[in-house]
Amino acid sequence: MATTKIAALMIRTLAKPLANSLKTSAANNPTWKRFCISVAQGYHTIEETLKMRFLGYKLETIRPLNEARAVELGTSFLAEFFIFAVAGTVVVEETIRSSLKSSARNADIDNSIATLKSQQVQDTQELQLLTERVQGLEMENDALRDAAKTMLDMVLLKGVDKQRSWWLLPGFNNDERMLKELQLVGSRLESAEDFADRRKRRVAAECGLNEIELVKSIEGTVLS
């Protein structure tokens, strides 16, 4: 309420010099003078009619203003209307500018959120790739460890005296047993490699990459 009163006071204060200028122009320009009188008489008629209606008075014929009063009222009304129109235009323009700025800021925020979500999806895919790679390497490592242990056992057993009689008993052929263990370890190693390849192809298909791009993505992630 106080802001409205201050704004009205400012408009009237700024309108006074303009009204005086318009009044001077009306005195020197008959056409402009008739226009100001017409505006003033119309404004006076509407104002008096509304007053009688709101106050409950009987509508009567409204007497027109004299020429001097009409010129003064018309120029004052036009000056205030002009100042009010300019102020209203400034307010509307500022409102539109603020709205556009807010929309642009919201668009930037939405773009940032979309970028973060895309980065999150990419990070999740890279983490999945690394997890698959680690699992495959762990299986290969286990198979290689078993193979190394079996080969070490064979080397140690080869150095033992082969003339002990109980080694020659049926079911105690160490060469045959070591061969079977090596075959088993080799089978496990092949299974681990096959498992890693299958997981790699599946992850590449889910990410829309081929195997070469998948390997490059994993290497790039590890190096970074």
Contacts of 165 (CB under 8 A, 6+ apart): none
- Stretch 22-49: mean pLDDT, rounded? 83
d(CA 34, CA 43): 14
- Stretch 206-215: mean pLDDT, rounded? 53
Could you tell me the pTM of the whole model?
0.45
Task: Give the per-residue pLDDT at 167.
Answer: 45
Domain boundaries, given as residue ranges, for the chain: 2-112, 116-223
What is the per-residue pLDDT across 211-223, written as a single tens digit (0 to 9) for each? Answer: 555 555 545 544 4
Q: How many CB atoms lie within 10 A of CB 120?
A: 10
DSSP codes joined into one string, 5-56? HHHHHHHHHHHHHHHHHHHHHHHH-HHHHHHHHHHHHHHHHHHHHHHHHHHT
d(CA 10, CA 102): 29
- Stretch 81-85: mean pLDDT, rounded? 80
